[in-house]
């Protein structure tokens, strides 16, 4: 199974950005934690992070017929990007939305997620472990390579 982790703006600044909200673990810790778990599950995992909406849309389009699952934290684009939603709908791959913080308990504008209705599952407020839960969910429900 091939899965990509797509992270939006400022996720690359984990460990620096608002540590009282996002924690002290940095982006490399996030990647290494996911890589370790993916290896245990025999999943090929790829990572992509961009602070640019168009780059995220381009990456999603490149994945057409080349990926089995997507884990996406669009970050601030969660609340603004119909373009990311449309790209996900176009390639129609099982997708899990992840947010490190509980966006429902934050500012009012963060409560709207444009991609949520498309996603197979949303995992919010579980920190970095949310990515692990998302990977497990995709493997359990959409792995066509099970022995």
Report the catalytic residues.
22, 99
Cβ-based burial of 71 (10 A; exposed 0-12, middle 13-18, buried ≥19): buried
For residues 54 and 139, give the distance between their C-alpha atoms in angstroms, rounded to a whole number.
Answer: 28
Residue 135 phi/psi, 5° resolution? -65, -45
H or E element at residue 30: helix 27-41
Q: Are 125 and 132 in contact (CB under 8 A)?
A: no
The order of strands in the sheet holding 2-7 is 44-49, 2-7, 69-73, 95-99, 121-124
Q: Are 92 and 61 in contact (CB under 8 A)?
A: no
């Amino acid at each position: 199974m091939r899965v990509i982790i797509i992270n939006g703006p400022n996720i690359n600044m984990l460990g620096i950005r608002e540590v009282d909200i996002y924690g002290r673990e940095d982006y490399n810790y996030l990647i290494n934690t996911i890589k370790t778990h993916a290896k245990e599950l025999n999943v090929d995992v790829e990572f992509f992070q961009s602070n640019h909406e168009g780059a995220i849309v381009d990456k999603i389009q490149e994945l057409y017929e080349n990926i089995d699952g997507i884990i996406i934290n669009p970050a601030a684009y969660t609340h603004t990007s119909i373009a990311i939603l449309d790209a996900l709908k176009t390639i129609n791959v099982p997708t899990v939305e992840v947010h490190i913080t509980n966006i429902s308990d934050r500012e009012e504008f963060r409560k709207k997620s444009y991609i949520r209705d498309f996603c197979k599952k949303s995992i919010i407020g579980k920190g970095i472990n949310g990515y692990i839960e998302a990977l497990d969910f995709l493997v359990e429900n959409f792995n066509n390579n099970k022995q």
